[in-house]
Chain A
């Protein structure tokens, strides 16, 4: 097997995040020896974890210049580590931080890259990756002969490595940043306003609200305020992620009564996100492509729709409840609150 390098960014406290531990597990799946590299302001705890997982060597780039997720500094650090390690296969977690630089790093190394990898195997002593094309519409298994080869694994696709930290002797890689690399400054993080629920990767359940919530109901009336309350109560009670169909978030532009708790960040599907959760409950949405493309990685899927012929009935959900979501969710909320 080629020389494998796992690259990780340390969290603010110097540890390794869940996604990095997943990437670590993925790299270990390749078998054989591997090295690791870690980048961040403080990296000791992360390096110990990597050593504990069996990294033959741990390269590190540390310091305040590397605290911020910023292209110029992150790319320079990762490039330097990969070169120092002589890496041929580079595995990293496809976090927003790594995704920003991964392809640039591959380019600097004269290598090739695959992202959003959801499965890894070894055949003929080379990695075979599973990844999706056309927005999760088709799945490919592929390999490459060229090295270095950068493989970004999708968070949530591999079970995180679990084990005790070891004690690393970090091989510090020297990266000095010129002024040109500091033209960008990260000034902070903006969290959605309170009350706004989002897609949270760690939740067990994804709740997807469809356009039906804001449509005229069988009594001929709109019940938007009620819908908003039912949805938010559920999300609170079940500690669920809140997703929505495109139709529902698009209505903002159409001057209709809308659910204020939703924005484009909630949208799942073709032009939205494809979250990963063990369970998903779709309500008042039709369940047709490309909408269900966003459900590709939801393991158990249930839906509530008034219409028995709804798209979810066509082999896309495990259970379709033909019922009024308003009535059902009110009762579900009561039961969950107990």
Chain B
């Protein structure tokens, strides 16, 4: 597209997916035990969105990528160091909770305001990217509200592919039921896309990209505005770990035939 896209990726941070999580009741509602101690990563689907954004920007000269992140500043700083060598972006940091229990409406409000405040924002070039769900709240509700606040009604969720045409229009594949994809075409920006996995592998670390990103990262963190996001509106009766343990019957030293018979009977039954 001539002049390129302005791609804003919204991405929060979540505990590194292999961490053991436990809920507690904090002063402002439910929270994660030892949340500050857990290593964090950029929300996985937003992570994919960021690669896609960088890739799209590369293919469309003149494009630029921003990453808008709402998270506790100190944790965000650490996460940024693990991603800033991957692809070029300009960070816009908002200092607030990364909790899954923070209301998506509050988060959306902050994200939309931060996007509106981008100097030189041109909505006719604007593509807002994010994950189709977070790995914390797991609701898939934030991005739509960001789009609404920005007045964007071309919205796509569960996106696995975006193909831009030279005239700025694009084709989108969205995940739908049954392992299928819905194919749409959109006349062009502004649009909002909540990404699923996409098709791109994680880019390698590039120290030069890191150095270039860093020029903006620390100032952005220093400028981070405190956010008001919280768990207002919801009243939690309980938050608990699921009852995980089953009484596992271990079948061993048993002939294969017998095992197969048992399984086949179970499948048929």
Contact = CB atoms under 8 A, between A and B. Distances in A.
Interface of A: 69-72, 75, 95-97, 99-104, 106-108, 112-116, 123, 128, 132-146, 180-181, 183-192, 196, 198-201, 205, 238, 253, 264-266, 270-271, 279, 281, 289-290, 296, 300-302, 304, 308, 312-324, 327-329, 331-332, 334-336
Given A96-B157, A188-B183, A318-B248, A323 B259 contact: yes
Contact of B185 (A144, A185, A201, A264): A185
A71 to B, nearest CB: 4
Given A113-B104, A332-B264, 10 more contacts: A69-B176, A95-B177, A114-B234, A133-B100, A143-B235, A184-B185, A184-B186, A188-B182, A281-B267, A312-B248
Given A104-B147, A128-B237, A315-B247, A296 B242 contact: yes
B179 A189 contact: no
B184 A184 contact: yes
Contact of A142 (B45, B235, B252, B264): B235
Interface of B: 14-15, 17-18, 20-23, 30, 32, 44-45, 100-101, 103-105, 108, 135-145, 147-149, 153-158, 171, 173-188, 197, 201, 233-242, 244-254, 256-257, 259-261, 263-264, 266-268
B180 A192 contact: yes
Contacts of A132: 138
Contacts of A323: 251-252, 254, 256, 259
Contact of A100 (B156, B180, B236): B156
B14 to A, nearest CB: 8
B178 to A, nearest CB: 6
B145 A184 contact: no
A134 B139 contact: no
B187 A140 contact: no
Contacts of A192: 179-180
Contacts of B260: 328-329, 331-332, 334-335
A134 B136 contact: yes
A117 B168 CA distance: 38
Given A71-B155, A135-B135, A187-B185, A279 B173 contact: no
Given A96-B182, A187-B183, A205-B267, A107 B256 contact: no
A133 B187 contact: no
A254 B111 CA distance: 36
Given A113-B141, A135-B138, A138-B239, A322 B179 contact: no
Given A132-B138, A133-B138, A144 B234 contact: yes
Nearest to A137: B21
A72 B155 CA distance: 8
28 contacts: A72-B154, A103-B104, A103-B140, A103-B145, A113-B104, A116-B138, A138-B239, A140-B239, A142-B236, A183-B154, A183-B186, A183-B187, A184-B184, A187-B171, A192-B179, A198-B178, A266-B179, A279-B267, A296-B242, A300-B266, A318-B248, A319-B250, A319-B251, A328-B263, A332-B263, A332-B267, A334-B260, A335-B260
A180 B233 CA distance: 33
B26 to A, nearest CB: 14
A107 B144 contact: yes
A191 B180 contact: yes
A121 to B, nearest CB: 10
A100 B254 contact: no
Contact of A302 (B105, B140, B184, B266): B266
B147 to A, nearest CB: 7
Contacts of B18: 289-290
Given A190-B181, A198-B179, A331-B257, A321 B263 contact: yes
Contacts of A136: 138, 242
A168 B218 CA distance: 62
Nearest to B257: A331
A134 B234 contact: no
Nearest to B104: A103
B248 A322 contact: no
Contacts of B254: 321, 323
A155 B176 CA distance: 13
A238 B261 CA distance: 14
B173 A271 contact: no
B267 A316 contact: no
Contact of A271 (B139, B144, B197, B240): B197
A192 B173 CA distance: 12
Given A70-B184, A183-B154, A184-B154, A134 B138 contact: yes
Contacts of A144: 233-235
A332 B30 CA distance: 46
Contact of B135 (A123, A271, A336): A271
B182 A189 contact: yes
A71 B138 CA distance: 20
A320 B20 CA distance: 24
Given A107-B148, A190-B180, A313-B250, A271 B44 contact: yes
A328 B147 contact: no
B2 to A, nearest CB: 19
Nearest to A143: B235
A80 to B, nearest CB: 14
Nearest to A249: B197
